[in-house]
């Protein structure tokens, strides 16, 4: 099946990322251990157990790896003799790491030295976008012969990434990195804001976790790239590196909570859910000591955190796979969202991306994959909520249609007794609330000799007659002209009714007489062989309807109906095919004036 094949492809994609957890734990600027070098030049090293004074002369060794420097000083020296960059204005780019002080000394061929230094919390003008610190050797008549770096209280030499560049390349790098990082951060900002709004409006837990994750990655990107130094220059150096480590671990925890809570409980085994959430929280908890450490077994702690993060990725992938197989649409959305970040993290563990984009490749890939995940989930959530809203609107429309159909006569399409009385009572109440009241009248219309039509021509012919009369009455349904309005209905058998507003006295009688004549002129076709069908009409008027006199629309409607019914029987007794106007119903209980009079047919 197509779904099974898509599921297998997604699982293969997720599996490629499992080996990347170690890199993610050190996302605050970490790099894999390797030989210390810069620009192809091997770095010799020297160390001291304590922070050395300025007069201390280090003894360099070009073999082995440096050790015992975390609470002291570490010197790195490169011989630049013969390097073409040494004759230009070589720039040393150091990717930010945890140290108290960094001093760079450029030694020229004539013995002259130029020293530049930065401290944790004060990078001055040396910081660049992309977690870089730039040191430029001034141009002189003689080339640079050597370069020496001194770190005080460096957390780990394995976290260092060094690069030599020319002056134009250094400026180009800074510009491009700033633009790329700014784009990624803007995408994360949009995703975080959108998910936060969804969490507030829709009150969905996973949207809140997703918004927190996106915000966490946004702050991480601002700290790692050093763009945060534009507003908080005191965050330079070790503080930013420690914050980045803590944020990276927190991001793992929030992403786990977002993915697991988005899946409905019936689509996920409870034990797997609890285990995945516990691993995510453990990853966040381990980030606390690792972010605070300035010395000690940092590399060992990073490895431990990497194992836990690997377990988190495996657990989340298992959750998504199980939920997908059980038909969870949320799992499919999250698989698409998580696939790219996992592939990126898996790819960085196989391919050396640390040197891409001048040393910021790994972190930039993480930033853009995070933005991808945020936007993917935002779009998926929007589509899901749009579908829910469409379904809700359709349900409301269906309910409204069912409500309307329950109040309509299926044969004639006019309102039935229930629907008519609801509208009539509402109209009466509205007329009574208006300033000065309003004239409202009830017309009861009964088809003359309808039983004989059914007996002679059959019930089908009778239905044709009723439908024809209904079409005639429907002309006035809902229409208003010069303040007058009308609502017709079939209230049972051959009896119709009309509630009329804005007409009284002679105008009302003239309207009723017009209705009677139009019905009499209706052509019912061959159903009754050209027989003429007439109606009798009884009218009752309401004087000052509504709530006056302590009576509501329902009470007045009941009184109107009784009065109109009496008028209708009077019309029948008077020979049918005529209009009789009965008593005027007032707001005072029991008060009525009999205006009965017959208007004969033409």
φ, ψ dihedrals at 494, nearest 5°: -100, 20
pLDDT of residue 347: 57
> Bridge-partner residues for 584, per DSSP?
541, 593
Interaxial angle between packed helices 167-202 and 361-405, expressed in degrees from 0 to 180 and rounded to the nearest 10:
30
* pLDDT (average), residues 135-154: 92
Question: Which residues lie closer than 8 Å to 24 by C-beta, 6 or more apart?
Answer: 248, 252, 306, 309, 345, 366
Dump pLDDT digits (tens) for 64-98: 889 889 899 999 999 998 888 888 888 898 887 78
Report yes or no on whether pTM surpasses 0.75: no
The 3-state secondary structure of 306-355 reads HHHHHHHHHHHHHHHHHHHHCCCHHHHHHHHHHHHHHHHHHHHHHCCCCC
User: In which region does residue 564 sit, left (phi positive, over 0), alpha (psi from -120 to 50) or beta (all else)?
Assistant: alpha
**Per-residue model confidence as pLDDT tens digits over 156-205:** 888 788 888 887 777 777 777 777 777 778 877 877 777 777 667 666 66
The tokens for 522 are 């209706």
Radius of gyration of the CA atoms of the chain, in A: 43
Q: In the structure, what pLDDT confidence band is assigned to residue 366 with cuts at 50, 70 and 90?
A: confident
Q: Determine the Cα–Cα distance for residues 412 and 406; give it in Å rounded to an integer.
A: 13
- Average pLDDT of span 13-38: 43
- The per-residue DSSP string of 347-398 comes to HHHHS--TTTTTTTHHHHHHHHHHHHHHHHHHHHHHHHHHHHHHHHHHHHHH
């Amino acid at each position: 099946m197509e779904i099974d094949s898509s599921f297998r492809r997604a699982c293969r994609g997720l599996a490629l990322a499992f080996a990347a957890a170690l890199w993610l734990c050190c996302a605050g600027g970490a790099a894999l251990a390797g030989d210390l070098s810069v620009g192809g030049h091997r770095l010799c090293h020297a160390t001291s157990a304590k922070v050395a004074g300025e007069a201390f002369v280090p003894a360099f060794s070009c073999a082995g790896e440096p050790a015992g420097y975390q609470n002291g000083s570490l010197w790195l020296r490169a011989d630049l003799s013969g390097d073409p960059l040494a004759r230009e204005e070589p720039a040393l780019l150091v990717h930010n790491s945890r140290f108290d002080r960094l001093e760079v000394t450029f030694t020229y061929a004539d013995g002259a030295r130029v020293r530049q230094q930065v401290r944790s919390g004060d990078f001055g003008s040396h910081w660049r976008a992309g977690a870089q610190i730039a040191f430029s050797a001034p141009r002189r008549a003689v080339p640079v012969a050597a370069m020496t770096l001194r770190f005080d209280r460096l957390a780990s030499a394995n976290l260092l990434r060094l690069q030599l560049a020319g002056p134009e390349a250094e400026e180009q790098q800074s510009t491009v990195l700033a633009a790329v990082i700014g784009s990624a951060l803007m995408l994360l900002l949009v995703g975080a804001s959108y998910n936060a709004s969804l969490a507030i409006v829709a009150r969905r837990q996973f949207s809140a976790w997703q918004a927190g994750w996106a915000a966490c990655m946004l702050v991480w990107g601002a700290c790692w790239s050093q763009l945060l130094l534009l507003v908080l220059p005191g965050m330079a150096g070790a503080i930013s590196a420690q914050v980045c480590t803590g944020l990276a671990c927190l991001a793992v925890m929030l992403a786990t909570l977002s993915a697991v809570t988005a899946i409905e409980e019936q689509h996920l085994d409870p034990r797997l859910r609890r285990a995945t959430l516990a691993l995510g929280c453990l990853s966040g908890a381990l980030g606390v000591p690792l972010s605070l450490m300035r010395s000690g077994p940092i590399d060992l702690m990073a490895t431990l955190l990497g194992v836990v993060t690997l377990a988190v990725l495996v657990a989340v992938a298992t959750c998504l796979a199980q939920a997908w197989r059980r038909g969870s649409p949320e799992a499919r959305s999250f698989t698409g969202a998580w696939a790219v970040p996992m592939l990126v993290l898996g790819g960085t563990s196989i391919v050396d991306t640390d040197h891409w984009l001048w040393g910021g490749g790994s972190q930039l890939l993480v930033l853009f994959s995070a933005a991808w995940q945020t936007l993917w989930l935002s779009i998926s959530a929007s589509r899901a909520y749009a579908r829910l809203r469409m379904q809700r609107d359709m349900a409301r429309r269906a309910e409204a249609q069912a409500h309307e159909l329950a109040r309509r006569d299926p044969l004639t399409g006019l309102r039935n007794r229930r629907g008519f009385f609801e509208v009539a009572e509402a109209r009466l109440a509205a007329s009574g609330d208006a300033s000065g009241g309003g004239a409202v009248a009830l017309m009861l219309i009964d088809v003359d000799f309808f039983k004989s039509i059914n007996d002679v021509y059959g019930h089908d012919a009778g239905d044709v007659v009723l439908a024809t009369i209904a079409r005639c009455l429907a002309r006035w349904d809902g229409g208003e002209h010069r303040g007058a309005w009308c609502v017709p209905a079939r209230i049972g058998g051959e009896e119709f009714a009309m509630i009329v507003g804005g007409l009284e006295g002679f105008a009302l009688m003239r309207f009723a007489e017009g209705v009677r004549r139009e019905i009499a002129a209706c052509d019912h076709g061959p159903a009754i062989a050209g027989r003429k069908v007439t109606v009798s009409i009884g009218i009752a008027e309401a004087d000052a309807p509504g709530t006056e006199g302590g009576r509501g629309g329902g009470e007045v409607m009941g009184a109107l109906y009784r009065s109109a019914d009496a008028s209708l029987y009077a019309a029948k007794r008077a020979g049918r095919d005529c209009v009789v106007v009965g008593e005027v119903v007032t707001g005072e209980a029991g008060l009525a004036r009999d205006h009965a009079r017959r208007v004969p047919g033409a």
